[in-house]
């Protein structure tokens, strides 16, 4: 199979498990060297990196808590120092917090914005200093950043609506440099954070026309497309990977 990303370097935040790990594996499959970040589980991150190296690419692990502005701002320079360049940024790290308005604390708001919005902004701002012409920024949003189908999603949905808005704005800002900026908006995906057989799955499952949760690999395949040469004319888009959830 032709490796469309050979010679490229990708950075995937939150790449130690779930969707992030699947994205890292898919980009490595396409030949990219990959840096991944983790917040707390170095062992899990190193396990992912070892699997990537088995594919014949370089893979490095960086501790960078998305809640820490200082760690996120330092991340891109570290990646470039170790791997020589950066071509693809995938802003995947995120947190989910739910609850009705009258039970939501100010600290919950601050934490959600810090990880789901500010970290995306900071990573992208540092990345554009080094991305070459034709570089890629791919933000992982959510279908809850397009529609709010259930109560208790205020903070999470707010943050993902923000990601969609930043994506469209940055596509305009960076178009002259041929850097594309797009967002993937996953629907219900079967991960340890949101298992298909869990309580939340019982609510969301019947809302999916295809009749089942997606897999992390479904999101990873969409990322690989947007990162590759065939998507050079795609920018400012939000691509739903949701089994028809938003149909």
Task: Look at residues 1, 73, 8, 58 and name the one whose alpha carbon lies nearest to residue 226.
Answer: 8
Task: Report whether 139 contacts 219 (CB < 8 A).
Answer: no
**Structure tokens given for 155:** 């903070």
CA distance 159 to 171: 18
**Structure tokens given for 166:** 């930043």
Catalytic, out of 38, 62, 156, 213: 156
Task: Report whether 177 contacts 151 (CB < 8 A).
Answer: no
**Structure tokens given for 58:** 């370089």
Chain centre to alpha carbon of residue 32? 16
Q: Is 156 a catalytic residue?
A: yes
CA distance 170 to 167: 5
Task: Look at residues 16, 241, 79 and name the one whose alpha carbon lies nearest to residue 146.
Answer: 241
Max CA distance (Å), the chain = 53
Residues that are catalytic: 156
């Amino acid at each position: 199979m032709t490796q469309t990303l050979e010679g490229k370097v990708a950075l995937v935040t939150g790449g130690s498990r779930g969707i992030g790990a699947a994205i890292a594996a898919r980009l490595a499959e396409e030949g990219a060297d990959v840096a991944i970040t983790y917040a707390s589980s170095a062992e899990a991150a190193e396990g992912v990196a070892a699997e990537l190296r088995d594919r014949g690419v370089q893979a490095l692990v960086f501790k960078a808590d998305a809640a820490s502005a200082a760690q996120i701002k330092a991340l891109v320079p570290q990646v470039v120092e170790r791997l020589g360049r950066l071509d693809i940024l995938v802003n995947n790290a995120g947190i989910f917090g739910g609850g009705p308005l009258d039970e939501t604390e100010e600290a919950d708001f601050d934490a959600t914005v810090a990880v789901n919005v500010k970290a995306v902004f900071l990573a992208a701002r540092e990345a554009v200093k080094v991305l070459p012409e034709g570089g890629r920024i791919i933000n992982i949003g959510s279908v809850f950043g397009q529609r709010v189908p259930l109560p208790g999603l205020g903070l999470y949905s707010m943050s993902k609506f923000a990601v969609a808005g930043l994506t469209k704005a940055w596509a305009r800002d960076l178009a002259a440099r041929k850097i594309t900026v797009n967002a993937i908006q996953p629907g219900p995906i079967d991960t340890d954070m949101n298992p298909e057989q869990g309580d939340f799955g019982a609510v969301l499952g019947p809302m999916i026309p295809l009749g089942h949760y997606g897999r992390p690999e479904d999101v990873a395949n969409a990322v690989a497309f947007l990162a590759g040469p065939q998507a050079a004319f795609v920018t400012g888009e939000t691509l739903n990977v949701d089994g028809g959830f938003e149909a």
